[in-house]
Structures are given as C-alpha cells and as structure tokens.
C-alpha cells in the first residue's frame, strides 16, 4: 500500500468504486459497433477520438473534415441513445455544440486550457484600473 492508502483499511474497495472506465473509439469500424461496445458491462464513457477517426476515414490530419464531424455527431448520439456517457475531444468554443449532441465527457488539450486561462488573466490585468 502506498501513501494514499495509509491508515485506510477500505482503500482498495474505495479505489475500485471510484474508477471510471473509458473506452476510446479510434477507427471508423468501431463506430459501426457502438451498440455492441456500449453493451459491455462496466463501461462508463465511450470516447470518440477525432484525429484517429479522421485518419481511419482517409482524412489524415483533418479532424474537422465534414465527413469526420458527421461521423462524430452520429456516434455521440448513438452512444447517448445506448445509455452511456459519450465523449470526445473538445475545444472551448465547441462545448455547446458537443453537449448539444449528447457529449458528457469533454476532453481538451492541456495547452488549450492553459492558453485560455492565461488569456483571461491577461485581459483582467489589462482591464484593471490602477489605484492611486
């Protein structure tokens, strides 16, 4: 047992209960098997990986391609209809779009998150009036 478990006799049971199982769909073929994948007991989130999906669809480096975006939208709706939490990669300006499609697990790159926070902070600094 490590430090997180120190003094806890229920550590392993509690850790097991707190696990979220996320499966990642990276291939167009997987989208055709969403119902079967969602039927697997214990899956909490079914995540569609846009970059890998784009590559498998012949649109390498183009996750924003209309065919890829349509496949993601259909996939998210199907996952939600199966009663699982749909997820995908999401830029801050696309949150409303993906939530509207049923997404409940949104991933963003750490760089985007930090950059958005830094921009908001700098805007607050620039807008602050000096006090005398």
On whether the CB atoms of residues 106 and 87 are closer than 8 A, the answer is yes
Give the per-residue pLDDT at 123.
Answer: 92
Query: What confidence score (pLDDT) does residue 4 get?
Result: 58
Angle at 81 between CA 76 and CA 85, to 5 degrees: 55
Summarised one tens digit per residue, pLDDT across range 72-110 is 999 999 999 999 999 999 988 899 999 999 999 999 888
Q: What is residue 1's predicted lDDT score, i.e. its pLDDT?
A: 43
pTM: 0.77
Q: Is there a contact between 52 and 27 (Cβ–Cβ < 8 Å)?
A: yes
Domains of the chain (ranges; CATH) run 17-127 (3.20.20.60)
| pLDDT < 70: residue spans in the chain | 1-8, 11-12, 14-17, 132
- The secondary structure of residue 83, as a DSSP letter, is T
Reference 31, options 51, 6, 49, 15; nearest CA is 49
């Amino acid at each position: 047992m490590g430090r997180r478990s120190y003094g806890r006799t229920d550590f392993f049971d509690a850790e097991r209960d707190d696990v979220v199982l996320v499966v990642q769909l990276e291939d167009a073929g997987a989208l055709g098997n969403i119902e079967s994948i969602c039927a697997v007991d214990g899956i909490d989130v079914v995540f569609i990986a846009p970059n890998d999906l784009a590559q498998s669809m012949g649109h390498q480096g183009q996750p924003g391609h209309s065919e890829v975006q349509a496949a993601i939208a259909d996939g998210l709706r199907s996952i939600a209809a199966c009663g699982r939490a749909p997820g995908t990669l999401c830029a801050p300006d696309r949150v409303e779009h993906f939530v509207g499609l049923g997404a409940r697990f949104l991933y963003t790159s750490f760089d985007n998150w930090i950059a958005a926070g830094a921009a908001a902070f700098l805007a607050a600094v620039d807008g602050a009036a000096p006090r005398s």
